[in-house]
Amino acid sequence: MTFPTFLNPWYAAAAAAATIPPLILLYFLKLRRREMPVSSTILWKKAIVDLQVNAPFQKLRRNLLLILQLLLLILLLLALSRPIISYAKGAGRSTVILIDRSASMAAKDGLEGKGTRLDEAKARAKSLVDTLDRSAQAMVIAFDDSAETVQPFTADTVSLKNAIDSIKQTDRKSRLKLAYQLAEAQTNFNPDQLRSIGPRPDVRVYSDGRVLDATDLSIHADVTYEKIGSDKSANIGIVALSARRNYERPTEVQVFARLANFGPDPTTADVQLTVDGAIQPHIGTVSLLPERWDDQQRKEAEAKGQLPRDGVEFTLDLSTAAVVRVEQMNKTGDVLAADDFAQVTVPPPKDLSVLLVTTGADPFMQHAFDSLGLQKVTTMSPSDYEQKKPAVGDFDVIVFDAVKPGYLPDSGNFVDVGVVPDHLKIHAAMKNGKMEVNPDIVGVLDWKRDHTIFRDVNMHKVASSNVMKLEVAPEDEILADSTYGPLVVLHREGLQTHLVIAFDMLDSTWPTPYAGSAFPLFWYNAMKFLALGSDIDIHQSNEPGATPRIPRMILEHAARGAKSIKLIDPTGHASVIPIPAAGDFALPALDHVGIYTTDPALGPFEHIAVNLLDPVESNVLPAEKAPGGIGETTASGPIKARLELWWWLTACAALPLLMIEWWVYTRRVHM
Amino acid sequence: MTIAAPKSSALIDPQFMSRLDQLDILSRKLLAGKLKGERRSKRRGQSVEFADYRNYTVGDDLRFIDWNIYARLDKLFLKLFLEEEDLSLYILLDTSASTNYGQPNKSLYIKQVAAALAYIGLVNYNRVTLAAMADGIVAESGALRGKRRVAQMIDWISKLQPSGPSLFAESCKRFALSNRNKGVCVVLSDFFDKGGFENGLRYLAGGRYDLFCVQTLCPQEIDPDLQGDLKLRDIEDDDMAEVSITQPLIKKYKANLNAYCLSLKEYLSRRGGTYLFSSTTVPFDTLVLNYLRERGLLG
C-alpha cells in the first residue's frame, strides 16, 4: 500500500483557485456587522483585548465558521482530485502494456475460473490504467506470433481501456520478441539520433509466460511479468497429427496423433476420429503422465504400472478427399478447447499422368519414372508428340528430355531437360548465332534446400559438362546455381510452369550412383510439386496465423477469371477475398483453429485445416519466471489495484464537518 | 436606545418631596459654612442644642457657664452647644452623551437623583451648587439656598440635555477650581471615561469635599443582551468596536465591568469617599430614601 496519489490534481487545483478566494470573500462580506450604539466601548474593547491576550487562538475561534467552511471545501476539493491508495505498484510515467492474445490465453482459468486468461489480462491491465497519473502515458500492444500496436502512447485512460477491450482472442502461437521490439522502438529509440532517449519505460507483460522465443528476448526496459493463469489447471492437448496416404495403396490413409497432458495429475483420454463430420467407430485411448513431471516422477509412476501411452494411430480407407478430425474426449477440467481437436485435409488419391518426350537415348529417365510407381507414364518420340499435339489437361506433367518442342499446350507443367522451348522469356544465351555451351565440367554451387523440389535431395556430388548458359527473367526462381550460371530454374509464364534444367542428364553425374539418391528423389518431388502445387505436405494442416499461398494455376483451374473468392472461417462467417489480376495470391491470416473453406472450391485448398498442434501453447502451466528471465514476476490472481478515497472523504469527513458547522452556527446565533 | 429628555414635572413629584422634607444632608467632615444655617454642625457653636461641657478658661463667654454645676461642684464648666451653620452641597451631574442611553434612561435617573438631593439641600438651607459636566463644566447653577429656590433648581435641571463627549478629568478640575468652599460633593455619573476616572476624582477626593460617587448604569450595560456579529458604536465619540458576541466575551465584559466598579469603589474608599452603585432599574426614590441614608449621605 502506498501513500495516496491524486488522479485529478489539476482539476482540484483549478477548482480551489476558483472557489476558495470567493468563499473567503463571501465570508468577509457576510461579516458586515450590524451597527449597535452603546454608551461606551471602553469595556468592550478591554474585554476583546483580554480575550485575545488570554486565548492565543481566539482569532481562530472567532473565525471558526470560516475555518470549518474552508475545511469542508478543502475536503470536497480533495475528493475532486480523486485521491487513491494503490495496493499494487502503479504505472510509471511511460508504460507499455503488452497483452498476450495467443491460443493459450483462451484457457478458462482466468478471473478465478470466471473467464479466460485474456479476460483476466484485460481486467488487470485496466486496473493498471486506473493507476496512471495525469502526467503518465501508456500504450497497448497485443501480441501472439505477431505484434500489433492497439493504442499508441496516450494519457487518455478511456482510450486505453477501449483499446484493451478491443483485443480479440486468436489461436496463434506466442512470440514475444516482435512485441518487445515494437515496444522498444516506440519508447526508447530515437531514429534521428540512433540512440536511446528518455527514461527506461515500464513494460507490463500480461501473459501466461509460454512463448516460443523465450531465449531470443532482449529489451531495454523495466519489465514486469504479470503471471496469468492457475498452476492447477488441467489440459489435454493434441500436439501432433498427420494423415498420409499409403503410397502403394493410395486409398489407405494412416492417421497418427500424439497427445500430451499438461495438468497436474496423470490421466487417460479417449480419442475419437471423425471423417467429413461422420464419427468413425475407431476409438483410441491414451494414458498420459503430466508433462510437468520430471524423469524421477515418471520412473516412479511407471514402476507402479502407470505406463504412458501418448500416441494413437488409425487406418482408414478413403477413396476421395476428406477432412479427418481427431478429438480427445476427456473434457473434465480441461481449460483449453483449441487443442482438444485437430483436423487434416487428406488430398484425393492422385494418379499422376506424365508424358515423357524422349528420343530414347537416355535410359536413366525412363528408369527413374518407372521407379516412381506412377500409374500412368506415357512415352512419346518427338515426332509423335508434334503430330499428336496433346491438349491441355491430357497430362499433368510433360517432360522434354533433350528434345526441343515445337508445340506447347497453352497451359500445363513442363520439365525441360537440356533444352529451353522457344518463345519463352527464359532462353539460352547465344554467341555467334550458336547456343552458348560450356564444355567444361560444372559443379553445383548451391541449391534451395528448403524448396519442395529439393527436399532431401543432396546435389553436392552433381556435376555436368555441356551446360547451357541460361538467361533468366527477373521473376524466375533459381533453384540450383553454379559458377557458370543457373542450373535449375522454375519459370512461370502465362498458364505454363517450366522447370528448366540447363544440362542433359547424359552429360551429368546426377543419374549415377555417385550422386546417391538425388536423382529419383528429385523427380519424385518435382512430379508432386508440379502436379499438386507448392507444399504438398504442409497444406494438410496449417498453424494458426498462416497465410496459405494459392498458386495461380490452381485458381485458374478452379475459377478462371474470378475476381474474388469467399473464405468461410470455422465459425461459418464468410469474407470476400479479392484476387489480384496476375500471379499467385495469399489468403489472409487464418487466426482460428478449425476448417476454413474456399468458395469456389480451390482444388487442394477447398478445405484448409488450421491446428494448434503446439506443445508450448497447449502447456497451460503458467511460467513462474518472466519470459527469457527478463523482468520480475508479480503475483497472479485478480487484485483490486487501488482504493478510491473520495467517497470516504466525502462521507466520513465532509458530512460530519458540515454537521459541526451547522451546530457552531446555530450555537452562535442563539448565544 | 436614546429616549427623549425628561419633562421637568417628571423629575420629582410633590409626594416624594414631602418625604424628602424630613431628610438632611450629612457630612462626615467638619465643614465650615459661611452663614448660619439650619444644619447642626459638628462645630460647637451657639445653637440651642447642648453638645458638651468643658472647663472654663479665661476669656470664655460667661453666658455659657453652667451655674448649676458651679453651685454643686464649685467648679466652672462651660456649656457647649452645637453650632448651626449652613452646608455647601455640590452636585455634579454627568450630562455627556453616554448618559443618554439605556432603558430606563440613565440621564433621567441622574437628573431625578440630583433633583432629590438638591431639594433636600435647599429645604435644609444648605448652599446647593449644581454643575453639569460633559467635556467640561457645561452648566453651573450657582449657589442656591432656601426652599424658594426649589423651582429654579428643578427648572435648571430639566433644561439639561445630554450631549457631547465625556472629559471627566477636565470637568472635575474646572469644578474644583471654581468651588473652593468645603462641602459635600455628590458626583452622579456612569464614570465611563476613556481617560479614566482617577484623574478626575483626584481633584475632588481627599480634599475639601466630602465625596459621594453614585455610579449609575442601565441594565443594558450591566447585562448586555446582544448577539451576532456587531459593530458597537460609542455614542459619545463614534468609536467603533467590532465584536462577535460569544459567551466568553459576554462573561469577560461582565467581569471587566465588575472590576471597573470595584476599582472605583476602592479608589474612593482609600481617599475617604463613598461609592454607591445603582442600576436605573432601582427606583430612584428607593435609592434616595434607603441607599443614600444607609451610606450616610442623608440623615
Mean pLDDT of chain B: 83
Q: Write the CB contacts of A318 (distance below 8 Å, at least 6 apart in sequence).
A: A245, A251, A252, A253, A275, A324, A346, A349
Residue of chain B nearest A65, judged by CA positions: B244
Q: What pLDDT shows up at residue B114?
A: 92
Q: Which residues in chain A are closer than 8 Å to B192, comparing Cβ atoms?
A: 39-40, 42-43
Q: Output the CA–CA distances (angstroms, integers) from residue A128 to A8, A131, A184, in the order listed.
A: 16, 5, 20
pLDDT tens-digit series, residues B195-216: 888 888 888 887 778 889 999 9
Sheet holding B209-217, edge to edge: B137-144, B127-133, B88-94, B183-189, B209-217, B274-279
Neighbours of A667 (CB within 10 A): 12
A-contacting residues of B 62-81, CB under 8 Å? none
Cβ separation B234–A40 shorter than 8 A? yes
The CA distance from B79 to the nearest CA of chain A, in Å, is: 56
Per the DSSP assignment, residues forming a β-bridge with A312 are A257
Q: pLDDT band for B262, please (50, 70, 90 cuts).
A: very high
Q: What pLDDT shows up at residue A143?
A: 92
Q: Which residues in chain A are closer than 8 Å to B1, comparing Cβ atoms?
A: 37
B85 touches B43 (CB < 8 A): yes
Give CA–CA dist A146/A256, Å, rounded: 30
A186 touches A153 (CB < 8 A): yes
The CA distance from B5 to the nearest CA of chain A, in Å, is: 16
Percent of chain B whose pLDDT exceeds 90: 26
Q: What pLDDT shows up at residue B236?
A: 87
Cell numbers describing residue A31: 461579516
Beta strand A477-482 pairing with A442-447: antiparallel
Q: Which residues in chain A are closer than 8 Å to B240, comparing Cβ atoms?
A: 41
Coil vs helix vs strand at A412: strand
This complex has an ipTM of: 0.80
B221 has a chain A CB within 8 A of its CB = yes
Q: Write the CB contacts of A652 (distance below 8 Å, at least 6 apart in sequence).
A: none
- Segment A118-147 shows an average pLDDT of 87
Cβ separation A35–B102 shorter than 8 A? no
Q: What pLDDT shows up at residue A536?
A: 43
pLDDT at A463 over 70: yes
Q: What pLDDT shows up at residue A671?
A: 38
Q: What is the 3-state secondary structure (H, E, C) of A387-449?
A: HHCCCCCCCCEEEEECCCCCCCCCEEEEEEECCCCCCCCCEECEECCEECEECCCEEEEEECC
Q: pLDDT band for B296, please (50, 70, 90 cuts).
A: confident
pLDDT at B299 over 60: yes
- Which string of DSSP letters, residue by residue, matches A22-76? HHHHHHHHHT-PEEEEES-SHHHHHHHHHHHHH-TTHHHHHTHHHHHHHHHHHHH
Percent of chain A whose pLDDT exceeds 70: 88
The CA distance from B99 to the nearest CA of chain A, in Å, is: 7
Q: What pLDDT shows up at residue A31?
A: 61
Nearest to A151 by CA among A167, A166, A140, A137: A140
Cell numbers describing residue A639: 487484485
Coil vs helix vs strand at B167: coil
Q: Write the CB contacts of A10 (distance below 8 Å, at least 6 apart in sequence).
A: A134
Q: What pLDDT shows up at residue B4?
A: 40
pLDDT at B59 over 60: yes
Give CA–CA dist B82/B64, Å, rounded: 13
pLDDT at B76 over 50: yes
Cβ separation A668–B235 shorter than 8 A? no
Percent of chain A whose pLDDT exceeds 90: 10
pLDDT tens-digit series, residues A214-266: 888 888 788 888 888 888 888 999 988 888 776 556 677 888 889 999 888 88
Q: Which residues in chain B are closer than 8 Å to A39, comparing Cβ atoms?
A: 98-99, 101-102, 106, 190, 192, 218, 221, 234-236
Coil vs helix vs strand at A112: helix
A170 phi/psi in degrees, rounded to 5 = -120, 170
Q: pLDDT band for A669, please (50, 70, 90 cuts).
A: very low
**Range in A107-121, A514-528, A548-562 with the lowest mean pLDDT:** A548-562
Q: What pLDDT shows up at residue B8?
A: 43
Q: Which residues in chain A are closer than 8 Å to B98, comparing Cβ atoms?
A: 39-40
Neighbours of B297 (CB within 10 A): 24
A498 touches A491 (CB < 8 A): yes
pLDDT tens-digit series, residues A272-304: 998 888 888 878 888 888 888 888 888 888 888
- Segment A316-331 shows an average pLDDT of 84
Coil vs helix vs strand at A130: helix
Cell numbers describing residue A414: 513442363
B94 has a chain A CB within 8 A of its CB = no
Q: Which of A253-262, A341-350, B74-83 has the highest mean pLDDT?
A: A253-262
Per the DSSP assignment, residues forming a β-bridge with A501 are A417, A488
Mean pLDDT of chain A: 82
| Of A641 and A566, the one with more pLDDT | A566
Beta strand A632-634 pairing with A195-196: unpaired
- Segment B212-229 shows an average pLDDT of 90
User: Least CB-CB distance to B98: which of A40, A51, A671?
Assistant: A40
pLDDT at A39 over 80: yes
Q: Which residues in chain A are closer than 8 Å to B234, comparing Cβ atoms?
A: 37-41
Q: A125-139: buried (b, 16+ CB within 10 Å) or exposed (e) per residue? A: bbbbbbbbeeebbbb
Confidence (pTM): 0.50
A176 touches A217 (CB < 8 A): yes
Q: What pLDDT shows up at residue A538?
A: 39
Vertex A217: Cα angle to A213 and A223 (nearest 5):
120
A238 touches A343 (CB < 8 A): no
Cell numbers describing residue B272: 475617604
Cell numbers describing residue A62: 472567532
pLDDT tens-digit series, residues A477-489: 899 999 888 999 9
**Range in A376-380, B157-161, B188-192 with the lowest mean pLDDT:** A376-380
Coil vs helix vs strand at A611: coil
Q: Which helix (H) or strand (E) holds B20?
A: helix B14-20
Q: What pLDDT shows up at residue B215?
A: 93
A463 touches A444 (CB < 8 A): yes
Neighbours of A576 (CB within 10 A): 10
A222 phi/psi in degrees, rounded to 5 = -90, 105
A325 touches A350 (CB < 8 A): no
Vertex A434: Cα angle to A430 and A437 (nearest 5):
75
Cβ separation A39–B99 shorter than 8 A? yes
Residue of chain B nearest A39, judged by CA positions: B98
Q: pLDDT band for B6, please (50, 70, 90 cuts).
A: very low
Coil vs helix vs strand at A655: helix
- Which string of DSSP letters, residue by residue, matches A138-195? EEEEEESSSEEEEEEEES-HHHHHHHHHH----------HHHHHHHHHHHTEETTTTE
pLDDT at A88 over 60: no
Q: What pLDDT shows up at residue B3?
A: 38
- Segment A115-135 shows an average pLDDT of 86
Residue of chain B nearest A669, judged by CA positions: B228
DSSP character at residue A77 = H
Cβ separation A42–B192 shorter than 8 A? yes
A and B: number of Cβ contacts within 8 A: 98
Q: What pLDDT shows up at residue A4?
A: 67
B229 has a chain A CB within 8 A of its CB = yes
Cβ separation B241–A45 shorter than 8 A? yes
Residue ranges of the alpha helices (H) in A206-326?
295-303
Q: Which residues in chain B are closer than 8 Å to A43, comparing Cβ atoms?
A: 192, 253, 256-257, 260
